[in-house]
Chain A
């Protein structure tokens, strides 16, 4: 039935609305998560510290000896994670621009081989974009044999442009047990090959390759 004001036929309306539906679905799965990550990276929200900074870039900073910033280290075991995990020193005083190396330590106290992943977070959030890591154990997952102990190295540098009011930075790591996931998806190997960074959500392409690997 046609009326005077009618512009589109019913199939055209259905097709347009159907396309909108598909686009919104794609938007939810493939666009919103990366957009959220981008937003968090730009704003430093959630204390996400971003990817590794190259050593050359790090060395190009001058050192601002007029200021001292206290960097504190925390460690948390996620639920049911039995490892002993903690920083070797709890805090260190650094000048902005001064490269610093510290160590965490982890012991697999169980009788089975396990894989762990540490996830960093920085407070205050405003400091997240001024806290650069040149090397971090959190860039890779950590396989430990039963009873094994290891040092986990972290090299960082505080940006000389860090706002004046930030006097203390707290870096926290949460250790997750990813043994099952690593076994199931071969993530360990994937990461070793590609050197995925700490913001390595399995996005659509790697999700598909994971599926392919499963088959």
Chain B
């Protein structure tokens, strides 16, 4: 097994190596992250001052829509799949993924999906302008003609995610090293196993809902058209039946990453391993019975409002278990604050803030006030940016020395952290205030009395964007050179991935390791 990677471009096109595919996922995700970030900065530039300055309202709507779609499906999900590709085989002591050829395919259809989706921006009538939640009939009867391309792009992304999920489940079940029982698996593997099941369950529902849109638009059905006996509210139910598990798809692997990093830098084993596993499974289960809290204002009966309100609040219990476990892991540990740890601690604190605003939104009567305001925007950015983005960044810093064999620049890493941390809070914290005061989301103009907070938000957004360029520079510099990393990289970290050399050889665990 001494042979290395093939040469030239075909290495990447034909590769079935989990490390190559993982790297491609991560680079693709970073490219999409920058693209989605540019869309976000167009939004923030327009909102810098009240009134219409930079873009037309129609284009603003396309920007809010594309920002959401690109970040959710292009940045966060592929980044987690990339990390899974890189780390899961190494964490369970497998030579590769269970289905390496399908792995290649599930990556390579992704750039085409996004090529199709982003190309709609240049089509007549513009790209999707109906929000990333694409509520019908806005996305059917009133949609631009390019919506059909959007539908096919979603189909391809869904197929990619489903294949990725099948691959991960097969790898975890069938490729573990001897002695690696389920309850000995690292939490990143556990959270990804559960995430993969969520993907299997809900990505087909997403494919179904866009297929129903397609039939309504082109084949004369009336799933969501009231004139034909359909119901637009049905769309929201089906969409959020996908959409709520989807938000956990974007956060559960993050829990796994943080659960790997915090014990390393607190120099204590993870507190409450099994409770972490059960909490993850409970969150995954609950995610299927809370979807209608996204639609408290559609006119549900009081019993429905109450059920979804209580079920939603119930999620705070397993999530609280996790937060307490992380805090307890750090408690009286010999903590050091390298970049991955800084991002992880910020994750715990900021994600908890986002969780609390989520609890406020879960209160059905209060939600009527908050619905579709910037308070909601503040909430889900507080859970997604520190939740998904910070944990991915933490994971990249944590495992980068293992991937490329060199240490990153710690000073630059810490600087990036503080820029991102300050940028994030400056951007999103004021949104709580303007949201509670009644500023609506997805509108390019606003009342003058929201002006100061919006200007602050916009400044923070550009600062946060600049921090990401620093991450890009740091990663490229680390790949090109730097202090050599040891096999262990950190101070006695736990996990099979630290038993192989740095950089990890092209083929690892050709003979399975013995796990005690």
Chain B interface residue count, Cβ-Cβ cutoff 8 angstroms = 52
Assembled-state Cα–Cα distance A25/B203 (Å):
8
Chain A residues with CB below 8 A from B226, complex form: 78, 119, 174, 176
Given A17-B200, A200-B229, A202-B228, does the pair A24, B205 have CB atoms closer than 8 Å? yes
Assembled-state Cα–Cα distance A43/B98 (Å):
48
Answer yes or no: A28 CB below 8 A from chain B CBs.
Answer: yes
Given A5-B182, A28-B238, does the pair A210, B219 have CB atoms closer than 8 Å? yes
Assembled-state Cα–Cα distance A3/B221 (Å):
50
Specify the chain B residue showing the minimal Cβ separation from A48: B231
Complex contact A117–B228 (CB within 8 A): yes
- Of the candidates A5, A21, A29, the one whose C-beta lies within 8 Å of that of B162 is A21
Nearest Cβ on chain B to A55's Cβ, whole angstroms: 24
Binary contact readout A135-171 vs B (1 if CB under 8 angstroms, 0 otherwise): 0000000000000000000000000000000000000
Complex contact A13–B169 (CB within 8 A): yes
Answer yes or no: B175 CB below 8 A from chain A CBs.
Answer: yes
Given A28-B238, A200-B229, does the pair A184, B174 have CB atoms closer than 8 Å? no
Answer yes or no: B495 CB below 8 A from chain A CBs.
Answer: no
- In the complex, chain B residues 208-249 whose Cβ is within 8 Å of any chain A Cβ: 208-209, 211-212, 215, 219-223, 226-231, 233-234, 237-238, 241-242
Chain B residues with CB below 8 A from A192, complex form: none
| Chain A binding surface SS class | helix
Answer yes or no: B176 CB below 8 A from chain A CBs.
Answer: yes
Complex contact B220–A178 (CB within 8 A): no
Complex contact A187–B174 (CB within 8 A): no
Binary contact readout B167-204 vs A (1 if CB under 8 angstroms, 0 otherwise): 00110011111111110000000000000000011111
Complex contact B175–A28 (CB within 8 A): no
Answer yes or no: B4 CB below 8 A from chain A CBs.
Answer: no
Chain A residues with CB below 8 A from B223, complex form: 33, 201
Assembled-state Cα–Cα distance A78/B137 (Å):
13
Complex contact B202–A24 (CB within 8 A): yes
Answer yes or no: B330 CB below 8 A from chain A CBs.
Answer: no
- Of the candidates B203, B208, B229, the one whose C-beta lies within 8 Å of that of A199 is B229
Assembled-state Cα–Cα distance A207/B174 (Å):
42
Complex contact A198–B233 (CB within 8 A): no
Complex contact A181–B204 (CB within 8 A): no
Complex contact B512–A1 (CB within 8 A): yes
Chain A residues with CB below 8 A from B8, complex form: none
Complex contact B215–A207 (CB within 8 A): yes
Given A5-B181, A17-B200, does the pair A29, B220 have CB atoms closer than 8 Å? no
Answer yes or no: B207 CB below 8 A from chain A CBs.
Answer: yes
Answer yes or no: B166 CB below 8 A from chain A CBs.
Answer: yes
Complex contact B228–A178 (CB within 8 A): yes
Assembled-state Cα–Cα distance A129/B377 (Å):
39
Assembled-state Cα–Cα distance A61/B169 (Å):
60
Assembled-state Cα–Cα distance A54/B356 (Å):
54
Answer yes or no: B94 CB below 8 A from chain A CBs.
Answer: yes
Assembled-state Cα–Cα distance A7/B173 (Å):
8
Answer yes or no: B286 CB below 8 A from chain A CBs.
Answer: no
Given A176-B227, A199-B229, A207-B215, does the pair A9, B174 have CB atoms closer than 8 Å? yes
Answer yes or no: A72 CB below 8 A from chain B CBs.
Answer: no
Assembled-state Cα–Cα distance A46/B463 (Å):
47
Complex contact B220–A187 (CB within 8 A): yes
The list of the 3 closest CB pairs from A to B, nearest first, reads A28-B208, A176-B227, A24-B204
Name B's A-contacting residues (CB within 8 A).
Answer: 94-95, 98-99, 162, 165-166, 169-170, 173-182, 200-205, 207-209, 211-212, 215, 219-223, 226-231, 233-234, 237-238, 241-242, 299-301, 512
Besides A1-B95, A14-B99, A119-B226, 17 new A-B residue pairs in contact (Cβ under 8 A), listed by A number: A1-B175, A7-B173, A10-B170, A13-B173, A13-B174, A23-B204, A28-B242, A33-B238, A36-B231, A36-B234, A40-B231, A119-B227, A125-B301, A181-B222, A201-B222, A207-B221, A210-B221
